[in-house]
Amino acid sequence: MSHSRRSAWSTYAALAIGLLALPFLLQAGIGRSWVRIIDMALLYSMLALGLNIVVGYAGLLDLGYIAFYAVGAYVYALLDSPQFGLHWPLWAVLPIGAACAGLSGVLLGAPTLRLRGDYLAIVTLGFGEIIRIFLNNLNEPVNITNGPQGICLIDSVHLGTFSFSHNHTTMLPGLTGPVQYYYLFLALTLLVMFIALRLQDSRVGRAWAAIREDELAAAASGIHLRNFKLLAFAMGATFGGLAGGLFAGFQGFVSPESFNLMESVMILCMIVLGGMGNVYGVVLGAITLTVLPEALRMLGDWQLNHLGHVIVDPNDLRMLIFGLALVAMMLIRPAGLIRSRRHQREYAGDRP
């Protein structure tokens, strides 16, 4: 017993050291750009964990999830850039962005959540497009979003005078901007994972699971369907808004093009690939689908170097492969890479 405990602890310790050392290893090994890629992977993990509450826990297919990411990102961008000359502190901007996203989740959810699942999917998809159309066009008559050009020169994520974008290599060799963001995002991702796990194993999480499995039986067990669906929607949207704010500060630039339908579908892919409902699977899915396109990009470079020109642009192939993967996953391994016990039956075509 004490032996297995000790080995568990040493596994955790190794994992922690590995995670802490990872950005330095990447930076030294294959270059700083890969640290940025991992940073993005962590951002997507947070997003996917948020959507997982909606889709994986409560079983509500939301195809416009990226809109909440956009709300968080634009709130940060507007409150922390030369656009309005505002430079609010992080502790105010991030919660405001998350709250705005959560609120828009409630506003969208309140009228639509009594609809059946597939209708909800289409309405959310429409909502995502509406948000994008507004972001694209709210540059006149009053310039709010700066239209398709987007907003640039956004302040970096900063705490007091500490900016996460500035290098602090004098403090510690190799402590570059991307590395600092890595630690910030890692901490927040772990926090979101923690929250997601706690929620799953609670009265609230069981109510969501009950709604997902059988709405009528859930209602007959005393669960207020609309309130709990709204709660899932709002929680998911809040995480989306949080990730969006971080994204704006990290990139320094936002434009409507970052928030199109394909992004929503991508995040859905991450969940489906990793295993709907399973927190670790979702993170694995998010990391896989962020890193994979970058690996594919190397395939393009390889063609350029060895064949003289690019025959098939891997960027074009990327979404094609995702689409095929989505179909194949549903047909072959509907429970995802890491199976969630609860979902095995549900997505495997349940006939008792």
Partner 1 sequence: MTELLQIDHVSRNFGGVQALTDVSFAIRQDEIFGLIGPNGAGKTTLFNVLTGVLPPSSGHIIFAGKPLDRQPPHRILQLGIARTFQNIRLFSGMTALENVLVGQHSCTRSGVIGAILRNAATRREEAQARRHAAELLDQVGISRHSNTLAANLSYGDQRRLEIARALASQPRLLALDEPAAGMNPAEREQLRELIQQLRAGFNLTVLVIEHDVKLMMQLCQRIAVLDFGELVTVDEPERIRQHPRVIQAWLGTET
Partner 2 sequence: MDILLQQLINGLVLGSVYALIALGYTMVYGILELINFAHGEITMIGAMLALAVITHLAGSGLPVPIVLLAGLLTAMAGCSVLGYAIERVAYRPLRHAPRLAPLITAIGVSIVLQNLAMLIWGREYISFPPLLPQGWFDVHGARVTDVQLIILVTAGILMLVLDNLVRRTSLGRAMRATAQSPQLAGLMGIDANHIISLTFILGSALAAIGGFLVSAYYGLAHYYMGFLLGLKAFSAAVLGGIGNLRGAMLGGLLLGVIESLGAGYIGSLTHGVFGSNYQDVFAFLVLIAVLIIRPAGLLGQNTADRA
Helix (H) or strand (E) holding 99: helix 90-112
* Neighbouring residues of 24: CB distance < 8 A, sequence distance ≥ 6: 174, 179
Binding string, residues 205-244; x marks residues near partner 2 by CB under 8 A: ----------------------------------------
Q: HSE on the CB side for 303, CA within 13 Å?
A: 11
Question: Does position 218 bind partner 1 by CB under 8 A?
Answer: yes
**Burial state string for 304-338 with b = 16 or more CB within 10 A and e = fewer than 16:** eeeeeeeeeebeeebeeebeebeeebeeeebbbbb
- As measured in angstroms, the least distance from the Cβ of 305 to partner 2 is 22
Sign of CA pseudo-dihedral 199, 201, 202, 205: positive
> 119 is in the binding site of which of partner 2, partner 1, none (Cβ under 5 to 8 A by kind)?
partner 2
Instruction: Give the C-alpha separation, 164 to 101, whole Å.
Output: 24
Beta-carbon-side half-sphere exposure of residue 244 (alpha carbons within 13 Å): 37
Taking CB under 8 A as the rule, does residue 182 contact partner 2?
Answer: no
Binds partner 2 by CB under 8 A, chosen from 20, 30, 86, 115: 115
Per CB under 8 A, does 130 bind partner 2?
Answer: yes
Q: Residue 224 binds which one of partner 1, partner 2, none, with CB within 5 to 8 A depending on kind?
A: partner 1
Residues in contact with partner 2, total (CB under 8 A)? 50
Q: For partner 1, which residue of 1, 311, 341, 349 counts as binding (CB under 8 A)?
A: 341
Amino acid identity of residue 171, one-letter, is: M
* Residue 152: strand pairing partners: 253
Q: Choosing among partner 1, partner 2, none, which partner's interface includes residue 187 (Cβ < 5 to 8 Å by kind)? A: none
Residues 135-154 touching partner 2, rule: CB under 8 A, are 136-137, 140-141
List residues binding partner 1 (CB under 8 A): 195, 198-199, 202-207, 209-210, 213-214, 216-225, 231, 235, 341-346, 350, 352
